[in-house]
Structure formats: C-alpha cells, structure tokens
C-alpha cells in the first residue's frame, strides 16, 4: 500500500501492457499515466522544481514559468499546487482546451502564444514569450526544460533503471521524443549500465530534432506507440527481441486529434484509401 502526503509524490508505476496479446507483436507498453498529472512529465517536473529549490533559484515568493504544449504544464501545475508555489504555463493553440482548464483548476496561470513561428510551429514563439514575461516581471523564473539537467536526470535516476529491473533481457527501448529529456536520461543510463540495449527514438514530421525539415508538428504525443510496431515489423519479423515502449500518457489528451477520424482526415487525408491504393 502506498501512502503519500502530496500529489507530486506519486509518479511511479510498474504497469506494462503486453501488446502481444492483442496486436500480436512482441512489445510491452510502459504506462506512465497512472499519477496525478497523468503523464511521464511528472518525473521531470518534480525533479526540476526540487533542484531549483535546492539551488536557491526559486522560493515561496517566486513564480515559475515554463513553455509546454500540454503534459509538462499539467505536471508542473500539480507540483506547484502541492508545494504552494506559483506557476505560469506558456502554451499555444494546439494545447487542447481540457488541458488548459486542468492547469487553471490547479491554480496555474496560462498564457497562449497565438502567433506561429516562421516554419508554422510554436516552439520559438513560446520561448520568446517566456523570456518576455521573465524580463517584465521580477520574481519570474524560467525552469527551462530544454537546457535543465534536472529534466533528463529524472529519467537517468528513475525511469531507465526501473525498466531495466523489470526487463533484465531487454533488447530494444522505444522513446517518443519532444524536448529529449526522457530520451537523454534513458540513453545515458543504458550506455553506462546496459550498453547492449538499443534505444530507438520516435519523432514526428515537422520536428527538427534529428535534422529533418522544420514544419508544422501536428502530433505532440502518442509517437512511441505507433513507431515501435513499425520498427519491429521491419527489423524483427521473427519476434525474437524483447522490447518496451514508453507510453508517456494514457492517450486521453488526444481524443480531439489522433483519435478523431475527422481530425486525421483534415491533416493527413484519407489514409485508408491511400493504403488500399498502395496495396493495389
């Protein structure tokens, strides 16, 4: 039985879904949504806030500021509420309304960067707005998930070793890539402790993380679940590898996007028709 004092103390779960039972693929899905923030981002949020407090970068008079398209904003809202701290989330129009309402329900302020960057995305616009807010308001502190080592250290110290403990024969680990915190922490831990494990990063079209052309990034989450099976189909047709994919959340925050047929058609066209034509 787990007994906690504040909502930000619960971020661990050893729940894995064996997709071999339903999808007939040798892949286990590590479910990171069973906490009060609903995502793996609670690890990073707790780590960054604890580090900032320890280093004296923030105190009870400070206002934390961070750029987020959704999950980290919710996670920091949970931590801020649990520790009686103030938090401002800078997000963009792609953040779904339910997530915005959830952050505000936790007591956070939400500011929307509503003008896209030159490449059609919003990341640069969000960062610019964060800097403007911090320059105009004394006491505002940017946690800066993009450069903050406490982000990836949360996964070096927790996520990776927990997976290794449950899967001592692990061959492949699939990780969806956003800011790279989960990926970096896991890559460094396995490199230091289990170098034989292969890490496969999954990203979406429009991201520049791996040198692809910049463009609108329509899928902020759900990537590892889709990319893992495709990689295994190509590289492990015999199903001999032991593999895990980190599911960053429970998927409920994409009900109006990834899991909405009308949204998918509006962005990607009729995928069923394209598949029929490609097999015809």
Task: Check if the beta carbon of residue 181 is closer than 8 Å to that of residue 143.
Answer: no
Measured in degrees and rounded to the nearest 5, phi and psi for residue 156 equal -65, -40
Q: What are phi and psi of 241, to 5 degrees?
A: -90, 150
Q: How far is CA 224 from CA 20, 59, 167, 171, 206, in A?
A: 16, 36, 18, 16, 16
Half-sphere exposure of 205 (CA within 13 A, CB side): 3
Distance CA 16, CA 31 (A): 6
Mark whether 273 is an active-site residue.
no
Place of tokens 């899991």: 259
Q: Write out the catalytic residue numbers.
A: 41
């Amino acid at each position: 039985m787990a007994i906690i004092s504040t909502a930000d103390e619960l971020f661990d779960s050893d729940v894995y879904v064996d997709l071999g039972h339903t999808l007939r693929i040798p892949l286990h899905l590590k479910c990171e949504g069973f906490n009060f923030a609903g995502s793996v981002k609670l690890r990073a949020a707790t780590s960054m806030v604890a580090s900032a407090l320890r280093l004296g970068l923030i105190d009870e008079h400070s206002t934390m500021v961070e750029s987020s398209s959704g999950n980290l904003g919710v996670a920091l809202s949970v931590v801020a509420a649990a520790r009686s701290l103030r938090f401002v989330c800078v997000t963009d129009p792609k953040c779904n309304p339910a997530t915005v309402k959830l952050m505000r329900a936790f007591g956070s302020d939400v500011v929307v960067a509503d003008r896209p960057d030159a490449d059609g995305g919003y990341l640069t616009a969000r960062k610019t707005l964060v800097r403007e807010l911090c320059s105009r308001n004394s006491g505002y502190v940017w946690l800066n998930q993009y450069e903050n080592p406490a982000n990836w250290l949360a996964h070096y110290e927790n996520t990776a070793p927990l997976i290794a403990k449950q899967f001592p024969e692990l061959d492949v680990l699939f990780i969806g890539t956003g800011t790279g915190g989960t990926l970096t922490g896991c890559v460094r831990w396995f490199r230091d402790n289990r170098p034989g494990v292969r890490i496969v990063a999954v990203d979406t079209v429009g991201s520049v993380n791996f040198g692809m052309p910049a463009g609108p990034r329509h899928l902020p989450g759900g990537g590892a679940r889709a990319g893992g099976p495709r990689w295994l189909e190509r590289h492990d047709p015999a199903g001999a590898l032991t593999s895990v994919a980190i599911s960053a959340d429970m998927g409920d925050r994409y009900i109006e996007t990834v899991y909405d047929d009308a949204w998918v058609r509006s962005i990607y066209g009729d995928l069923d028709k394209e598949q029929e034509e490609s097999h015809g």
